[in-house]
Amino acid sequence: MSEHVSLTNAASTGLSGTRADFVDAHFEACRPSYEAMLLSVGLRLGWRVLDAACGAGSFLPLIAGCVGPGGSIAAFDLAPDNVAAARALVAGWQGACPAAVRIASLTALPYEPDEFDAVWCANSLEYLSDEELATALVEFRRVVRPGGLVAIKDADPGMWLFAPGDPTLLWRAWEAASRVSAPFRGCLRTRTMRRRLERLGLVDVWQRATASEIWAPLRPVQHRYIAQQLMQMGTLGEQGGLPPADLAFWRRQRDPDSADSLAADPELFWCEGHFVTVGRVPDART
């Protein structure tokens, strides 16, 4: 694996932050808030649900619990290595609902109109351009039946914090990374998703912010995730032209096992911000 891929946690697609071990660690590090966000959507027993851009499949067991044995799940991801990981996960299910995982793109869903009761898409739309995002949202509406749900969960970097340390380090890193990383720029649209779903013609649209807070002492998976995330942020920020005065801090994050890494600080506070946005496809009674 090249240094660039290693430092930016990229899957086989080359997209930063999509490698299976990284997304799994992210999910486990933030599991309580991630589970609460999925459960807030309103998935029901017996439903057919599409997990769009499922990554390594971290949300699939929770979706299966929501829809029960009488429901079903379809899932896809763009990265073949993530699809392989998700298929291995569902292959070991006992008594859960049927689940099929394939390679596909957010902008050209290989499913029939009205095929699903709901679409769930987490941590993925940030990778699309504005034009691709518009196409993906139209595709979500197309494959969801009248009365069904389109549910989106994405991060918003404006709500991220860490301490101890100068908070402006993070702000400048985001700004620098956004100059070289389309996903970082894409995260800045997350707070607009409610209006986008309303313009799409969905009804009963709501959007809710969630803060995922982690305090030291960290569990091993939390340390691994935060150290990898800091390494990724600093690498992209340096590529984007961080001020020289900031580079010493971010270069210390290159070694996740170093005592100088912020993830090893006994007073660490880490906070991530997310939005869940849900809308309903109108039916004849709307």
Residues in the chain: 286
Instruction: Render pLDDT for 230-255 as a digit per residue (tens, 0 to 9).
Output: 988 888 889 999 999 999 999 999 88
Tens of pLDDT along 95-105?
A: 789 999 999 99
**Which value, in Å, is the radius of gyration of the alpha carbons in the chain?**
19
* Domain 3-280 falls under CATH 3.20.20.80: no
Say if CB 275 and CB 193 are below 8 A apart.
Answer: yes
Helix/strand/coil for 118? strand
- Residue-range domain boundaries for the chain: 3-280
pLDDT digits (tens, 9 = 90+) for 46-72: 999 999 999 999 999 999 999 999 999
User: Which pTM was predicted?
Assistant: 0.91
**pLDDT of 3:** 37
What is the enclosing helix (H) or strand (E) of 169?
helix 167-178
User: Are the beta carbons of 121 and 240 closer than 8 angstroms?
Assistant: no
Measured between alpha carbons, how far is 240 from 244 in angstroms, rounded to an integer? 12
pLDDT at 182: 82
